[in-house]
Chains A and B, each alone.
Chain A
Amino acid sequence: MTRPVRLGAVSYLNVRPLVHGIAGDPRASLRFDLPSACADLLARGEIDLGMVPSITYADRPDDRIVPEVCIGSAGQVASVAVYSRRPLRDVRSIALDSSSRTSAVLTRILCARLWHIAPTYTPRAPDGESMLAAADAALLIGDPALFLDHRALGADKTDLGEAWTALTGLPFVWAFWSGPPSGADADVVARLHQARDAGVAAVDAIADVYCAGDPARQAIARRYLRDHMRYDLDSPSLAGLRLFYREAHALGLVSRNPELKFLT
């Protein structure tokens, strides 16, 4: 490609290891946005590749996935959770963090398939206190969930990554690089792999910079990147992703069950 590839990524801590060193790379430009905004930028052609929430791919049949890289978890993810002040089986309403459709869809799948409840859902701004004032439970994602002290809220925390793996035995893929087939060539794919490898080797430093000046948060961030995040889009992760799309489609939450197609 003659011009720098335009990359858009979610603005959370968990994506930072995947873009390690890219900010100063003349071959790429990088911007950070909320997950839903990142998907919109991709739709408008304002970025070539987006580290977009997994559900976005189901809406974009022509897109391709950058192979071998994702934001995933196997078991606890720590940063995507439902908070409630009553047992899940008694939950009748859930306030959904409006910034991520993937987590909202996952919540609906888990309600139907694991917890066997059928609550009503209301989109809300990501504020635990006000969400729990308006509903029996609250879905929070990203940094607000990671750093929230749920005990101070008087709420139990149900980790959605852990719940998915309990249901399926598989990892959950939260986001991955994707875009139109023309969005990146093999050199860009290789560069993203390099960034991932360098970032994974430097997670402690990345956590310290991200939470500079707050040792307590730094400790949480280090554990999060080291122990909860998976950055390889490997075979079990792909199986988890395919099952997520199948479940979402079966429940009518996406219009199609997309085939996984990759940039080469």
Chain B
Amino acid sequence: MEENRQSIAGALDHLHPIVLSGRALTPEEAAEAAACPDLVSVGVLGESVRKAMRGDRVTFARVAVVPAGAVAPPATGRGDAQEVRLVDRPASLDEARARVAAARSMAEGVTLTGFSTADLLEMAGHDHVTLAGFAKALAAAGLAAVAETPVDRLGDAEQASEVVRAVRHGGLGVWRLTVDHVPPDDRLALIARAAAVAADVGGILAFAPLSRRGLADVPSTGYDDVKTVAIARVMCRSIPSIQVDWALYGPKLAQVAIAYGADDLDAVSPYDDPAAGARRAPRAEIERHIRAAYAEPAERGVKYEILS
């Protein structure tokens, strides 16, 4: 498959040596790649960088997601999750703390993450000292890291870096950058912003470049999405993993994204349904999808360490 794709690629051949040299594309070069109608050429760039950085390995994470209003852990507990993740915006710091406290027993032995840096910033009145205080309170309650840091909601790269620093100063990890909602035309600028933030603050382990919210308002196409993944991979060289949300984008797009530069699939269900049979168990299914994309699956932990 790789040889076939290489042979038919052509429109962006001049960029190929650049990405293989380890240099990130400049904004102008990335814009050229993003504007290229030849999707295969764009994919070759993304996949080449993925292979150069990560080899054939594609990781996945099993996450127990706890939405707001879940007053008690699900009867199934956390299943095989390595991460328990609190999602949805809390109304106040007190509510956030209460949700952390309520989820602590469910997350015993694994890592508890939650909330969005942008939501916490708004709750703190955009005051970084207050934000750091919120982070400190949540860390004291048992939260290890914020789950989402949407670079489209934190101002420019400089401001976003300051927000990340404030949250970390409070004692919470910020390991991945995300995107809440960005129209396709703005994605290039946002990827450049994510690259700048990661280079500035360090310690960013993954970037999930596809929108997580408002998907029905301004729907993107699969064409846009895989192109976004590829451009993110070639521009964000200081970020080890480019991530696609398995639950949000579905197995098919997630699988195709691997061929465009994604190397991590997030939010795989931790729950196996015995009635569905072993072949339909989440772990078996995702491993099958990754292998079908000519990659080697590996389960990872919350800090992207390999578990299997």
Footprint of B on A, CB under 8 Å? Answer: 113, 167-170, 235-236, 239, 242-243, 246-247
Residues of B within 8 A of A113 (CB): 129
- Kindly state the separation between the CA atoms of A242 and B156 in the bound complex, as whole angstroms: 14
A247 pairs with B129, CB closer than 8 A: yes
- Kindly state the separation between the CA atoms of A167 and B130 in the bound complex, as whole angstroms: 10
- Kindly state the separation between the CA atoms of A235 and B165 in the bound complex, as whole angstroms: 11
Nearest CB on B from A120, distance (A): 23
For residue B287, CB closer than 8 A to chain A, the reply is no
For residue B128, CB closer than 8 A to chain A, the reply is yes
- Kindly state the separation between the CA atoms of A63 and B128 in the bound complex, as whole angstroms: 27
Residues of B within 8 A of A236 (CB): 165
Residues of A within 8 A of B158 (CB): 239, 242
For residue B169, CB closer than 8 A to chain A, the reply is yes
Nearest CB on A from B140, distance (A): 16
The residue on A at minimum CB distance from B130 is A113
Q: How large is the interface on B (under 10, 10 to 19, 20 to 34, 35 or more residues)?
A: 10 to 19
B166 pairs with A168, CB closer than 8 A: yes
Footprint of A on B, CB under 8 Å? Answer: 128-129, 132, 158, 161-162, 165-166, 168-169, 200
The residue on B at minimum CB distance from A239 is B162
Residues of B within 8 A of A168 (CB): 128-129, 132, 166, 169
Residues of B within 8 A of A169 (CB): 132, 165-166, 168-169
What are 20 A-B pairs with beta-carbon distances under 8 A?
A113-B129, A167-B129, A167-B132, A168-B128, A168-B129, A168-B132, A168-B169, A169-B132, A169-B165, A169-B169, A170-B165, A235-B161, A236-B165, A239-B158, A239-B161, A239-B162, A242-B158, A242-B162, A243-B162, A247-B129
A243 pairs with B200, CB closer than 8 A: no
Q: Give the interface centre of B129, B161, B166, B169 by most chain A CB atoms within 10 Å.
A: B129
Nearest CB on A from B145, distance (A): 16
Residues of B within 8 A of A167 (CB): 129, 132
Nearest CB on A from B66, distance (A): 29
- Kindly state the separation between the CA atoms of A53 and B162 in the bound complex, as whole angstroms: 23
Closest 10 CB pairs of A and B: A169-B169, A239-B162, A235-B200, A113-B129, A239-B165, A169-B165, A243-B128, A167-B129, A168-B169, A168-B129
Nearest CB on B from A108, distance (A): 14
Given contacts A168-B166, A236-B165, 13 further A-B contacts (CB under 8 A): A113-B129, A167-B129, A168-B129, A168-B169, A169-B132, A170-B169, A235-B161, A239-B158, A239-B161, A239-B162, A239-B165, A242-B162, A247-B129
